[in-house]
Amino acid sequence: MKPTLEKVQEYFKDAEIVRSLYGQEFTGLKNIHEFCGEWFCKDEHNRHRCIWQLGRYATILKTKTMKIEVTEETIKSYHNDACSEFKTRIEKDFPALFKPTLEVGKWYKSMEHNKFLMCFKKDANFSNYGFDAEGDWSNLLGMGYRDSLIPATDEEVSTALIAEANRRGFKKGVKFKHNKVSFPHLSNDIFKITSNNFEFKDGRMLCGGWDIFNNGLWAEIVKQNPVYEWQYVYYDSIYELYALSHFFYKSKKEFLKLMPSLKPLHKVKESKRIRE
């Protein structure tokens, strides 16, 4: 039995690519019509194609992709209910919906460049500090990655700042002074780090309890020539013997000042060391 126009339209409603009953492949089913007891349509080039004949339909090679419209509210609802891993995926797929309202003084990372880490100061070029896309420190970061920024955790910031502190040479025994901008009341004082304990606290980085980073600025390591010291061979006139000093001295003058009753003869070069 020959189908009605409505049934033919229903049969091909989702068809995208069709092979006609005469073997031609085509797209677009326009103007479905009957001719001599058969059903035809026009393809994308306006040519007639047979799509039903003697109880047989043309072959559907590909159906149309179903389009589902998802509202912004639906996406954000899914985001609120998702686990942390899936939240990150949703934020990456729909960055425009999750563009953060940047807070001054807060740290942000880029979803596109895993080394980019920035403390936001101003929504303008060359106004922020942190690590660029190569992981290098900069006080002139711009807003080129704004759409991909998400808040960074304290642990991520701490890890990056500790690595930068190590690169700059902050460690036990190092002497440093604060710059005039970040610590104006301490700018002329020189301090010595007494341990390798780093701590990220209230936006500052501390080493051995001392502030070495604040508000985008690093303290300045004071490079001093090392002071060397040696053990000395001395003559003890009371016991009339030669001996090796237990302590180290940087000169005969220092030896005599501390041990006036003994006579230093010469230093032992093999015992040379840097004075802490």
pLDDT digits (tens, 9 = 90+) for 230-244: 899 998 888 888 999
pLDDT band for 253, please (50, 70, 90 cuts).
Answer: very high
pLDDT band for 26, please (50, 70, 90 cuts).
Answer: very high
pLDDT tens, residue by residue, 54-64: 999 999 999 88
Residue 179 has pLDDT above 70, yes or no: no
pLDDT of residue 168: 93
pLDDT of residue 139: 92
Least confident among 103-117, 158-172, 213-227:
213-227
pLDDT tens, residue by residue, 32-51: 999 999 999 999 999 999 99
Residue 210, strand partner residues: 207
Under 8 Å CB-to-CB from 183, ≥6 apart: which residues? 211, 214, 219
Q: In the numeric block, which tokens belong to residue 15?
A: 């068809």
Q: Which of the two residues, 68 and 76, has the higher pLDDT score? A: 76
Q: Which of 228, 220, 231 is nearest to 255 (CA)?
A: 231
Where are the strands (E) in 45-148, listed by range? 48-53, 56-57, 59-63, 107-110, 117-119, 128-131, 137-141
Q: Which of the two residues, 213 and 88, has the higher pLDDT score? A: 213
Q: In the numeric block, which tokens belong to residue 58?
A: 């043309």
Under 8 Å CB-to-CB from 168, ≥6 apart: which residues? 218, 221
pLDDT of residue 75: 86
8 Å CB contact between 200 and 157? yes
pLDDT of residue 104: 92
Residue 181 has pLDDT above 60, yes or no: no
pLDDT of residue 163: 95
In angstroms, the CA 197 to CA 206 distance is 8
In the numeric block, the tokens 């303290």 are attached to 219
pLDDT band for 185, please (50, 70, 90 cuts).
Answer: low
pLDDT band for 184, please (50, 70, 90 cuts).
Answer: low
Q: In the numeric block, which tokens belong to residue 235?
A: 């003559």
pLDDT tens, residue by residue, 107-161: 999 988 989 999 999 887 788 999 999 999 999 998 888 878 889 999 999 999 9
Q: What does pTM read for this prediction?
A: 0.51
- What percent of the chain lies above the pLDDT cut of 90? 44
Going from the N-terminus, what domains does the chain have, and what CATH number goes with each? Answer: 5-63 (2.30.30), 72-151 (no CATH), 168-221 (no CATH), 228-274 (no CATH)
In the numeric block, the tokens 């035809």 are attached to 40
The DSSP secondary-structure symbol of 146 reads G
40 CB neighbour count, 10 Å cutoff = 21
Q: In the numeric block, which tokens belong to residue 274?
A: 């840097």
Mean pLDDT of all residues belonging to the chain: 88
Q: How far is CA 162 from CA 158, 168, 181, in A?
A: 6, 10, 21
Q: How far is CA 38 from CA 3, 9, 19, 56, 243, in A?
A: 10, 14, 16, 10, 122
Give the mean pLDDT of 162-186: 81
pLDDT of residue 183: 64
8 Å CB contact between 252 and 260? no
Instruction: Give the range with max mean pLDDT: 82-96, 181-195, 216-230.
Output: 216-230
Give the mean pLDDT of 58-75: 84
